[in-house]
Amino acid sequence: MKTLSELRSQRWFADSGMRGFAHRQRMQQQGWQRADVMSRPMVAIINTWSDLSPCHSHLRERAEAVKKGILMAGGYPVELPAMSLGEVMVKPTTMLYRNFLAMEVEELLRSLPCDGVVLLAGCDKTTPGTVMGAISMDIPTIFCAAGPMLNDRHVKNGVSQVVGAGTHTRIFWDEYQAGKLNAADMQQLESRMTRSPGTCNTMGTASTMTSIVEALGLALPGSTSIPAMDSAHTRMATQCGQRIVKMIWEDLKPSRLLTRGSFDNAVAVQMALGGSTNAAVHILAMAGRAGIELTLQDLDTAARDVPVLANLFPSGDKLMEDFYYAGGLPSLMRAIESKLSTGEMTVAGTTVADHLKLATLPDGDVIRTLDNPVSGSSALAVLKGNLAPNGAVIKPSAATPALLHHRGKALVFDNQPEMLAAMADETLDCDASTVLVLRNGGPVGAPGMPEWGNLPIPKKLLKQGVRDMLRLSDSRMSGTHYGTCVLHISPESAIGGPLAFVRTGDVIEINVDARKLELHVDDEELARRKAAWKPAEQRYQRGFTQLYQRHVTQAHEGCDFDFLQGTAPTPEPAIF
């Protein structure tokens, strides 16, 4: 247990010199009493609220609930705004700024008198970004998830259809392109599909990452699936505030919670959830911050061992509200208890085993058992071959089974505008066997590795009834999306990876069972193409994007900055 004098904030407020005088003076300027800063631990609330982040539009109110809990437990709350990465609005991609948010969180906490932190986040990159920064800072941390939005239904001609945000955006858009839905249908869907604050209600990247953080032990058990607009969500936020104060006195910080076992648990949970492929870059980055060696191969091994048990879009047909009523993550973890390291500690101060004793049994529908998986295909497969020497990923459970072993001719695009224009061209030379290839979509090339990987189906093929094709890129795909999409090809084309040398008409073969991705061009020809290749001139000569392109690692390494990986200590700021 820590004593008052050992609290980090006391370096600011207990000092008997002029600096201490000035620090106490400025807090009293805001109406606090001198005794407050002299006798209470100071708790930061990192809030990623923004008017342009609809998934987080309720986090101002949740911050107040967290503050209430902190005060009830004898702490001193301070709210610190951080960059809000609303997935839909931020361009060119939120992934470009994940590391920015991680740096901001770390430096906010380091430069200010914070003894512990509650992270308010949930939309895709806000979860790994805030957690990465908190891991590197290593003060007591608890993650308070924004929670998923409410369900909706689309009714047409008397037929009611459940609607999952993100997943159905692509489904309905393709039907519109094919002439199956009209403009009035689309306008109604536009106004109803996302009908409350909260993150996507499918098992997209948002719920995948918040679940992973809960599995790591950094969130209260059962907290991450509570719907954003449920009253239980406000109560949970207050509980986070109460618990973080106790964690500060216990000095229960990430370095005491995050082990190889906790990361193995998180990976197993990702697979059982049928989680987003984006987890492959985020979980590797978080492990790197914690000094835990984790590789794509570890993810593939887990995927072979743990089947998809969560019957949630895009692998299944239910939504996060259903998952919550079925018992949420504790119930899912109970279903895979035999695959978990149950002795790992959590922010609750108890072990995974302790929580699983209290978890409800899988209901067999929303949450399946190991002998009754949702899909015969895994949530992730890592492919290698002469097109992806360092690996690429695919989500077999959301793909077309017939395309998981496929051979076809490549149709190559160098950039997204070129590709989008071609998709609308009804004279495009392609058929259902064509392999669509997009390059220059990686971390350096795009830059930022946008979610371009769910390449659209050519309009002429949509009209013929085609709804999936084999698609390859060095970019990412939204976790809400589906289809036979090979992603994160590494090394990326912009730095001279083999994808840079593919030409239209080349034959590409995928064999997911064998974990192979091959370009059928002989080595001599590839060598000639490589010798003739020249990297594109970088457009960014200043600012954060230049820093990003110089220091970002490749997809198989987590796309973190090379200078932020690992656990090398950073000195505490001097107080003069």
Structure letter (DSSP) for residue 506 = -
Whole-angstrom Cα distance, residue 221 to residue 347? 9
Q: Which CATH architecture has domain 383-540+547-555?
A: 3-Layer(bba) Sandwich (3.50)
When the candidates are 3.30.420.40, 3.40.50.300, 3.40.50.2300, 1.20.1250.20, the CATH number that belongs to 40-150+199-358 is: 3.40.50.2300
Over residues 284-336, the pLDDT tens digits come to 999 999 999 999 999 999 999 999 999 999 999 999 999 999 999 999 999 99
Quick one: pLDDT at residue 311? 97
Over residues 443-493, the pLDDT tens digits come to 999 999 999 999 999 999 999 999 999 999 999 999 999 999 999 999 999
* Among the listed residues 40, 23, 31, the one whose alpha carbon sits nearest the alpha carbon of residue 77: 40
Phi, psi of 322 (to 5 degrees): -65, -40
Upstream peptide bond of 197 is cis (omega within 30 degrees of 0): no
pTM comes to 0.97
DSSP string, 342-380: TT-B-TTSSBHHHHHHHSPPP-SSSB--TTS-S-SS-S-
Q: How many CB atoms lie within 10 A of CB 231?
A: 9
With a CB cutoff of 8 Å and minimum separation 6, the contacts of 410 are: 434, 435, 437, 472, 502, 503, 504, 505, 506, 507, 508
Residue with tokens 């190889």: 260
Quick one: pLDDT at residue 210? 98
| Cα-based torsion angle of the residue sequence 200, 206, 211, 214 in order, rounded to the nearest 10 degrees | -120
3-state DSSP helix/strand/coil % of the chain, to nearest 5: 40, 15, 45
DSSP string, 461-482: HHHTT-----EEESS---TT--
Quick one: pLDDT at residue 539? 85
503: three-class secondary structure by DSSP: coil
Under 8 Å between Cβ of 40 and 73: no
Upstream peptide bond of 401 is cis (omega within 30 degrees of 0): no
Q: How many CB atoms lie within 10 A of CB 3?
A: 8
* Among the listed residues 144, 160, 162, 142, the one whose alpha carbon sits nearest the alpha carbon of residue 152: 162
Quick one: pLDDT at residue 154? 81
Q: CA 92 → CA 132, 165, 328, 451, distances in Å?
A: 22, 21, 33, 9
Ranges of the chain with pLDDT below 50: none
Over residues 200-259, the pLDDT tens digits come to 999 999 999 999 999 999 999 999 999 999 999 999 999 999 999 999 999 999 999 999
In the chain, domain spans: 40-150+199-358, 152-192, 383-540+547-555
Structure letter (DSSP) for residue 495 = G
Quick one: pLDDT at residue 160? 85
Quick one: pLDDT at residue 170? 85
Quick one: pLDDT at residue 223? 98
